[in-house]
Amino acid sequence: MTLRGIFLTFYCLFLALGTWWIVRQQKLAVPEFVASRDLRLDHWLREGDVKSASWVAEKVAALANGPNPNSFVGRYVTGDVPKGATLRLEATSAVPLMAPRDGHLTLLVTLPRARLGTLNAASCVQLSARDSKPFGVRAILCPLSDVADCSAAIDVPLERLSEIGKPTSETGKPPATLTVNAEAPCP
Amino acid sequence: MVGLFTQALAAFQGFFSRGFWFGSFLPVAMFAAVNLFLAWLSGFDWAAQAISDAKTTNWAWAVPLAAALIVLAYALAPLVPVCRAILDGSRLPTQVFEWLRGEAYDRRNAAYARLMETGQYQLRTNKLRALIRIRLPAARQVGNALGVANLKTSVWFAALAVRFLERRVASGNLPNRLTLWIVVGAAAFALNTNAAAQSGILGGLEGRILDALDKADENAGDRFQRLLQQHNKLPPEPQPTRAGEARNLSELYSRRVYDVEFAFIWPRVQMVIKDDDPSTKRIEAARALADFSVLSLMLAVATLVVWLPLLALTQKEPWSFLGLGIAGPLLVRFFYQLVVESQISLGEAAQGIVDRFRFDVLKMLHIKPPATLAAEREIWSTMAAVARGERPAGDVVWTVPPT
């Protein structure tokens, strides 16, 4: 065997060893996940919101049967998380926090599945076409069943409370149930 | 803001030669950028900060950076001859030197064996020709005596084998011994077991095989010429490395023609060349290229040695490690090739310069110019022997006797 052959063999072994070492370190490490977009407090996590920190980590997690990005789906973010920041499963909550705010009420309104779209915490919605301004969404609550409607916790400032119970033009009576009419751009 | 960096370089420009800027500074600057990129890839904050500063207008570090790179290039420049000596094998440990030189001898011997084998190809086909001329007509007679086509499969196999042979030789190949024997054997068997008249395909089989052999002989002649040219290009005295062979070839010239060691005449020749002579620029350019390639190779190897373990320890994914691990040796190989080529180019320039300026050296040394090449060879060998501290066989005649 030539000296060049021996050197090449050792070099290839070194590359294989280095690659094995990197993958092994990933196996030993706690799986890491990162936010794939900016997530606001009480963001209801859906598929694609969280991804594995690395390709190796993803493959290792799949092999080790540990948590994966889908383990986050349906949980809530407990603080503002910028895109690319590390996210741990323990740092998410099964229910939204929705801390009380002075001068604001939180109302639960019906959110038909068909109108769910990309609605989430910090989005804005209109309850009826006559709303002067859209209302901010504090959290989305959806049952596990794919057919059942969801609820949206909307933030209502006390001075706008009177707008909620206004009689509709069609019936002349206040609406029996409050329903999200459409997503609207936030002011 | 790039102007700051250029100004800093301009301030130092007068202090160093063009050879320094191309041969020493450029590789250092190039690999500084590569190392910065690798540091950024490894997630070092300072590297990310430096790249972000470079993207914006914050070039306050340009002047100290330029100064640091110049100092580094200046400090590394003396290592270039050491590294070149390692590359050409003269500074390798004896065992490694002999191992590598042994491999070079093996390569040379293998090339010679291949050349000889190709040269004797015709002898091999001549034996086969004789066999075909005797064996196949005999087989044809036996087959014709049968009067029928007994084994049509053998006829098809023989036809296919001859076709294969024809195609091989038509595409410039040399069929090996096994192929030739299979073809002749298949043809003999087919003719032996079938009446040729009943199997039209067997007609003219001998002629086709002989034609193919003629073409194979032509191919062997072409290959022999090509191998001979390659063999003649191999160094007569194999060296442990190709860089060593390139250097040895260029240094052999002065020894063969003027009987003087290159190491003796070269420094003296450089002393007699005037600054404004075009040869000065040629030497400087060739040496700068040689220095550039050697220093680049040195830095490429250092980059690999430092960064591969570092990437293995810091990376979460193996891609950058594998990328550098695969691309790095290719880069090293590229710079090594550049070392060899630049050494050859420097050697060629040096040969011309020795031819042109050797009489100026004699003039500088106050030695009477020789009338013949033999006299000149004697002068040089005498001078070199004196320089080595040996007792010279002859003497030299001064033009102006020393007072």
- State yes or no: pLDDT of B132 exceeds 60: yes
Over range A29-53, report the average pLDDT.
86
Q: How confident is the model at residue B17 (pLDDT cuts 50, 70, 90)?
A: confident
- Tell me what pLDDT residue A26 has: 74
Q: Which of A117-126, B140-149, B368-377 has the lowest mean pLDDT?
A: B140-149
Partners of A157 in the β-ladder:
A104
A56 → closest Cβ in B313, B317, B329: B317
Q: What is the pLDDT of residue B154?
A: 86
Taking an 8 Å cut-off on Cβ atoms, the answer to whether B317 and A19 are in contact is no
Interface contact B55, partner A, CB < 8 A = no
**Over the stretch A43-86, which tens digit does the pLDDT of each residue have?**
999 888 998 887 777 776 676 677 788 889 999 999 899 998 88
Question: Which residue spans within chain A are E strands per DSSP?
Answer: 33-35, 50-52, 76-77, 86-87, 92-93, 104-111, 124-126, 135-141, 150-157, 182-184
Q: Is A6 helix (H, G, I), strand (E, B) or coil?
A: helix
- The predicted pLDDT at position B14 comes to 60
Q: Which residue has the higher pLDDT, B224 or A88?
A: B224
Residue A116, pLDDT score: 84
Shortest Cα–Cα distance, B294 to chain A (Å): 20
Cβ proximity of B42 and B311 under 8 Å: yes
**pLDDT tens, B257-309?**
999 889 889 999 989 998 888 888 888 899 999 999 999 999 999 999 999 99
pLDDT-based confidence at residue B137 (cuts at 50, 70, 90):
confident
pLDDT tens profile B54-88: 777 666 777 788 888 989 998 998 999 999 999 99
For A7, name the nearest residue in chain B, comparing CA atoms only: B329
Judged by CB atoms closer than 8 Å, whether chains meet at B103 and A21 is answered as no
Q: Do A15 and B316 touch (CB under 8 A)?
A: no
Domain boundaries in chain A? Answer: 3-93, 104-184
What's the whole-number mean pLDDT along residues B297-323? 92
CB pairs below 8 Å between A and B: how many?
45
Mean pLDDT value across chain B: 87
Residue B177 has pLDDT above 90, yes or no: no
Confidence of residue A148 (pLDDT cuts 50, 70, 90): confident
Region B335-363: mean pLDDT is 92
Contact B76, B91 (CB under 8 A): no
The answer to whether domain A3-93 has CATH 2.60.40 is no
Through-space distance between the first and last CA atoms of chain A, rounded to whole angstroms: 75
Statement: the pTM of the whole predicted model exceeds 0.80: no
Between CA B309 and CA B330 the distance in angstroms is 18
**Per-residue pLDDT averaged across B245-257, rounded?**
88
A152 to chain B, closest Cα gap in Å? 40
pLDDT band at B202 (very low <50, low <70, confident <90, very high): low
Residue A84, pLDDT score: 87
Which residues of chain B neighbour A19 with C-beta distances below 8 Å? 318, 321-322
* DSSP 3-state of A107: strand
Round to whole Å and give the CA distance between A8 and A28. 30
User: What is the structure's pLDDT at B214?
Assistant: 92
Per the rule left: phi > 0, alpha: psi between -120 and 50, beta: everything else, B89 is left
Q: Worst-scoring range by mean pLDDT, A16-20, A106-110, B336-340, B399-403?
A: B399-403
pLDDT computed for residue B80 by the predictor: 92
Which of B106-120, B192-206, B231-245 reaches the highest mean pLDDT? B106-120
Query: Distance (Å, rounded) from C-alpha B311 to C-alpha B39?
Result: 9
Structure-model confidence comparison of residues A115 and B225, the more confident one:
B225
Q: Residue B97: name the closest of B113, B86, B109 by CA.
A: B86
Q: What are the sequence ranges of the domains in chain B?
A: 1-77, 80-92+241-389, 117-233
Residue of B nearest to A27 (CA): B316
Residue B161 scores a pLDDT above 70: yes
The packing angle between helices B121-146 and B205-233, to 10°, is 170
* The pLDDT of residue B18 is above 70: yes
Confidence of residue B131 (pLDDT cuts 50, 70, 90): confident
Contact A19 B103 (CB under 8 A): no
Residue of B nearest to A17 (CA): B312
Buried b (16+ CB within 10 A) or exposed e, B30-39: ebbeebbebb
- Closest chain B residue by Cα to residue A19: B318
